[in-house]
Structure 1
């Protein structure tokens, strides 16, 4: 039987070609709004640096680079197939001198302490074997006063929206995955991964337990996603 890490790797290697399309389906096209909101909240300044974990096909990595303009940005993912699709976007925008794409493990980042102004993870924290270890690594590589930022699917809290969303997520989404990208089991697994994942209040508490300060937890679109921001103590 595959470990979670091996299974998740196989999932994302297989869905890479249609990952962007399925993100639109998964989030009702809201993921672009969520990223814009997050970027506004982060207020990245020219020259600042960032590492974007589980960067996938690099949409957020590219946004960080465009805001920073001159600061080095790292996009890290364990799926080379995802990075290959991301590299096409990076090259089309002529950002290859600013963005470095790295195949690596979010649980053990190949960077020195206090290296970046931001560490971000978008729609990846629920997929890692140990989310607290990933948060510790994000905190380690960020400079004192730097920000750890997580944008992730979450759990709606109010009815009837909650019941409607779970029906869509658990019943309809896997069928759409089968129809659009010929992948049923992979998209059946995605809602299962969310069941075990902490809600936005629980994740905020995990941020605090890990020593992060000024922690914010902001539900988005009725709670189907949430933005978490924490600051590394100076």
Structure 2
């Protein structure tokens, strides 16, 4: 699948699954995605007043968590209008409309100036973009010197027998759950397909270094089925 076709396909998938996205995340990850995000927030050590940008923000759970942690401005960006509409409803319900701004846009061409944010995050979205290196370069560009680029994403367990059991679930059972629960077999078949060519824990850490991020840390989560990567932009802006 070429870059343009992938972008169109992924957009159609997420527009389609938006109404049941939160429900299916809980089901398919056994609610582990919430624990992964809490772990990530602890490692980020967000300080009061810091400004964040959350890419591929989906229905905005992480965007909201960032805003609550800092009390500062948080921006969420996603290319799916349906996802953003659900996220906006959450933001409005919590009374955070003055603190959180949601933008429909492309993670590969961010509509923000250089050195604008203390944190730039992407949760479960990097494997879906046409060019992950371009997205990492854009994240580094818009984060401030000394700021952090953070990726929470599915990954690839390496030890048996857990690896075999996980891939059986992820490749065979997960799409069937999508079909049975929300009538979306093809859309949930995309999830294992999107992971197949995605870098593993160490390879993604190396990609962070290749774009110039420093002090790169990588954490496997729940036996390696997910991973957290954090890199820092040099204080000299390089």
Secondary structure of 1:110's partner?
coil
For 2:183 and 2:227, the matched residues in 1 are separated by 29
Deviation string, structure 1 residues 173-206 (Cα, Å, up to 9, x no partner): 0000001111000101110110100001000000
Deviation string, structure 1 residues 78-102 (Cα, Å, up to 9, x no partner): 0000000001110111000000000
For 1:222 and 1:31, the matched residues in 2 are separated by 13
TM-score by length of 2: 0.97
Deviation string, structure 1 residues 189-227 (Cα, Å, up to 9, x no partner): 110110100001000000001100000010000000000
Q: Mind listing any 5+ residue stretches in structure 1 that lack a counterpart?
A: none
For 2:157 and 2:27, the matched residues in 1 are separated by 18
Moved segments of 4+, more than 4 Å? none
Residue of structure 1 in register with 2:216 after alignment: 215
For 2:18 and 2:181, the matched residues in 1 are separated by 13
Equivalent residues in 2 for 1:119-138 (5 A)? 119-138=120-139
For 1:170 and 1:134, the matched residues in 2 are separated by 26
TM-score by length of 1: 0.98
CA shift for structure 1 position 26: 2.1
CA shift for structure 1 position 28: 1.6
Secondary structure of 2:63's partner?
helix
Residue of structure 2 in register with 1:231 after alignment: 232
Secondary structure of 1:3's partner?
helix
For 1:200 and 1:105, the matched residues in 2 are separated by 25
**Number of residues of Structure 1 aligned to a counterpart in Structure 2:** 233
Aligned CA RMSD, in angstroms, stands at 0.9
Residue of structure 2 in register with 1:183 after alignment: 184
For 1:73 and 1:189, the matched residues in 2 are separated by 29
CA shift for structure 1 position 24: 1.2
Deviation string, structure 1 residues 35-64 (Cα, Å, up to 9, x no partner): 000001001111000000000000000000
Secondary structure of 2:122's partner?
strand
Residue of structure 1 in register with 2:68 after alignment: 66
Equivalent residues in 2 for 1:1-234 (5 A)? 3-69=5-71, 71-234=72-235
Deviation string, structure 1 residues 141-195 (Cα, Å, up to 9, x no partner): 0000000000000001111000000000000000000011110001011101101
For 2:194 and 2:30, the matched residues in 1 are separated by 19
Q: Mind listing any 5+ residue stretches in structure 2 that lack a counterpart?
A: none
For 1:86 and 1:105, the matched residues in 2 are separated by 17
